[in-house]
Structure 1
Amino acid sequence: MFANKLTPEQRQVVFDLAANLAAADNDVSEEEIGYLQSFSEAYGIEYNLDKVDINYDDLLTVLDTKASRIITLQELIKLSYKDGHFGKEEQDKVFLIAQKMGLNDASLIMRIEKWVRQGFDWVYEGEQMLELD
């Protein structure tokens, strides 16, 4: 939803970082693959998961506004939750990316993580209500 506020180049960076992050725990789940496929289809990005050797410093220069950096972290955390939990390897990588983007404020990262978690809770609660029929 917020990724539509990014430029095409910034969306490519989000995809590349997300594909790299999905492999952080050496197990790309079906849910993560679904997220990456949907993201690539929605924004016309080539679906390519071979992002192991990406250069963070080069990619992150494209994220030239605070909003683009926050949206990127939101998308990365959202991907991390797709397999049911925000694992240690994923957390470490997200925090590393946040630091490289100059977002060293732990409270901001916690707010973004809470925002994502609340979104998942909102969807889950709605699905539960619809299943009551």
Structure 2
Amino acid sequence: MFADQLTQEQRQVVFDLAANLAAADNDVSEEEIQYLKDFSDAYGIEFDLDKADLDINNALSLMDTKKARVITLQELIKLSYKDGHYGREEQEKVLLLAQKMGLNNTDFLMRIENWVRQGFDWVYEGEQMLEGDD
């Protein structure tokens, strides 16, 4: 997981932003909850979904390298795909966060989104190949 390359403080920001994003469409799916649980378990972060009062600008200030910002966007887009639907509200929120981090190059954002989608396709294809292999 690329989040291994972040500091613990930065991972907390990713979790907080992800929890905040998951609520963007007012419907936190089981898949999104599982993603957040897995992330919190993997990094020893308290599982708390109530991030409505999150100071986003302050949180984003901890993402002080391009690598941290790219990993953050990758994780947020990955969360958004978990329920099988990268909805408009989620896309707009990710775009806004990218702009606040100074990553408002549309082509670059599309590359990150394609990277995430290819990862999901890769997993799905592998699962399909292994299915029915009794």
**TM-score bin, normalised by smaller chain:** over 0.9
Give the 4+ runs in structure 1 shifted more than 2 A: none
Pair 1:108 & 2:108 matched: yes
Distance in 1 between residues matched to 2:78 and 2:132, nearest whole Å: 27
Per-residue CA shift, 1:44-65, capped at 9, x if unaligned?
Answer: 0000000012111100010000
Match of 1:26 in 2: 26
Match of 1:58 in 2: 58
For residue 85 of structure 1, report the CA deviation from its aligned partner.
1.4
Pair 1:13 & 2:13 matched: yes
Match of 1:90 in 2: 90
Match of 1:2 in 2: 2
Distance in 2 between residues matched to 1:54 and 1:44, nearest whole Å: 19
Match of 2:42 in 1: 42
Range 52-61 or range 13-22, more displaced: 52-61
Aligned length: 133
Instruction: Name stretches of at least 5 consecutive residues in structure 1 with no aligned partner.
Output: none
Identity score, percent: 74
Residue identity opposite 2:64 in structure 1: D
- Cα RMSD after superposing both structures: 0.5
Instruction: Name stretches of at least 5 consecutive residues in structure 2 with no aligned partner.
Output: none
Residue identity opposite 1:26 in structure 2: N
Match of 1:117 in 2: 117
Q: TM-score, normalised by structure 2?
A: 0.98
